[in-house]
């Protein structure tokens, strides 16, 4: 029979059996935990290693790209430096040439200032020459239109310069222009042209002794006229042509030889030419006297029944009626004004 003490100890002896499983679990945990931890550390280390490797690859690629870029940049910088040196050399050459041209320009300007007068001086000189020309046209030829045109040219030149010191001169020129515009117009060029036409027509004017009656036309001979009657008729016609009877209603014209006829026409031309010069000089007394002499020669030595002679006499009569007794104004005001300006400039230059 079992001992009660054994029975009493048996539960205690059997009781530790349930506690072996936690111990085993703890043992497994003690073994698995380092393994898991080691695996996790290995995984982390492997991931970090992969990342580091990838980072190194990326850095290596970037470094390679940077090296290529650096080489390209160095080449570009080298080319740019070469271009810069070339540009600097060209700029230096251009600067030297520019300095030389500026020196030459300064020398030319200094020479021009020494040798040439100023623009205003040139303008005053030109205006004075134009005014002198206009004054000569008035005094010698009485050409009012030419003098007025010259004054307008001088005023236009002063207007382009637009200098305040030229205002008195322009005012004087304006007054002279107004006086010239008030002068009655005489068409001297037109009258001169008509005289030239008259001179050209002198050679074709018929003389008084060159008057001719119309040549009689012979009568038509009869168809049955005999030879003797035809001979008598022709002899009578020739006899009629030898004799001319004319009634003269004016003094008999002088008989002139061919040389005298030539000198007569030339003298008439000279008289008309003298009248033309009188017209240019506005000498009305001599102009009318020469025209009257020419008209007297026409009446005395030329055929006044000719239309050419009559038209020339009408022209001479119209020309004698031309009034040229006009007092032309002078240009003293404009000339004095331009000379005063020149004197003022000379004083300032001194």
Task: Select from 230, 303, 250, 297 the least CA-distant residue to 270.
Answer: 297
> In this predicted structure, what is the pLDDT of residue 32?
77
Among candidates 71, 166, 174, 62, which has minimal Cα distance to 124?
166
Instruction: Give the separation between CA 207 and CA 255, rounded to whole angstroms.
Output: 10
Query: What DSSP character marks residue 302?
Result: B
pLDDT given at position 91 = 92
| Cβ 313 vs Cβ 298: under 8 Å | yes
Q: What is the pLDDT along the chain (350 residues), one digit of tens a residue?
A: 444 445 445 444 444 445 566 777 777 777 877 888 888 888 888 888 888 888 888 888 888 888 888 888 888 888 888 889 888 999 989 998 899 888 888 888 777 666 545 677 788 888 888 888 888 878 776 777 888 888 898 888 888 888 888 888 889 999 988 888 887 777 777 888 888 988 998 888 888 765 444 445 555 666 666 777 777 777 777 766 665 555 555 555 556 677 888 888 899 999 999 988 888 777 788 888 999 999 998 888 888 888 998 999 999 998 888 877 667 777 888 888 888 888 887 776 66
Which of 180, 157, 181 lies closest to 169, judged by CA? 157
Buried b (16+ CB within 10 A) or exposed e, 228-250: eeeeeeeeeeeeeeeeeeeeeee
pLDDT value of residue 4: 47
pLDDT for 300 equals 86
pLDDT for position 8: 47
The SS3 of residue 207 is strand
CA distance readout (Å), 350 to 165, 336, 343: 19, 21, 11
Q: Are 127 and 170 in contact (CB under 8 A)?
A: no
Question: Cα 225 to chain center, whole Å?
Answer: 87
**Model pTM greater than 0.85?**
no
Q: How far is CA 48 from the centre of its chain?
A: 89
Strand ranges, E, within 47-178: none
What was the pLDDT predicted at 214?
Answer: 47
How far is the C-alpha of 215 from the C-alpha of 201, rounded, in Å?
26
Alpha carbon 198 to its chain's center: 42
**Residue 41, token pair as written in the block:** 């550390």
Q: Tell me what pLDDT residue 219 has.
A: 59
Per-residue model confidence (pLDDT) at position 118: 66
Task: Report the DSSP beta bridge partners of residue 207.
Answer: 302
**pLDDT value of residue 270:** 92
């Amino acid at each position: 029979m079992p001992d009660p003490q054994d029975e009493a100890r048996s539960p205690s002896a059997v009781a530790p059996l349930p506690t072996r499983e936690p111990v085993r679990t703890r043992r497994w945990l003690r073994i698995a935990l380092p393994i898991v931890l080691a695996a996790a550390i290995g995984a982390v280390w492997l991931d970090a290693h992969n990342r580091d490797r990838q980072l190194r690859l990326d850095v290596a690629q970037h470094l390679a790209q940077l090296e290529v870029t650096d080489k390209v940049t160095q080449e570009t910088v080298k080319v740019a430096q070469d271009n810069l040196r070339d540009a600097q050399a060209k700029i230096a050459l251009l600067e030297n040439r520019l300095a030389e041209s500026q020196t030459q320009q300064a020398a030319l300007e200094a020479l021009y200032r020494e040798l040439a007068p100023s623009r205003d001086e040139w303008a005053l000189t030109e205006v004075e020459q134009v005014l002198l020309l206009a004054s000569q046209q008035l005094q010698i030829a009485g050409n009012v239109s030419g003098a007025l045109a010259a004054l307008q040219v001088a005023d236009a030149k002063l207007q382009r310069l637009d200098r305040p010191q030229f205002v008195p001169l322009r005012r004087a020129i304006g007054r002279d222009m107004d006086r010239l515009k008030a002068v009655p117009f005489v068409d001297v060029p037109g009258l001169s042209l008509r005289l030239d036409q008259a001179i050209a027509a002198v050679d074709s004017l018929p003389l008084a002794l060159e008057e001719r009656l119309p040549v009689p036309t012979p009568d038509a001979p009869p168809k049955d006229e005999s030879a003797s009657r035809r001979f008598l008729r022709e002899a009578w016609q020739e006899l009629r042509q030898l004799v001319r009877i004319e009634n003269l209603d004016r003094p008999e014209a002088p008989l002139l030889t061919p040389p005298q006829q030539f000198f007569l026409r030339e003298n008439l031309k000279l008289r008309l030419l003298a009248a033309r010069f009188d017209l240019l000089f506005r000498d009305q007394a001599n102009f009318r006297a020469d025209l009257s002499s020419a008209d007297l020669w026409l009446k005395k030595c030329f055929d006044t029944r000719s239309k050419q002679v009559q038209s020339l006499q009408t022209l001479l009569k119209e020309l004698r009626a031309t009034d040229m007794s006009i007092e032309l104004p002078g240009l003293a005001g404009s000339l004095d004004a331009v000379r005063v300006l020149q004197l003022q400039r000379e004083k300032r230059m001194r």
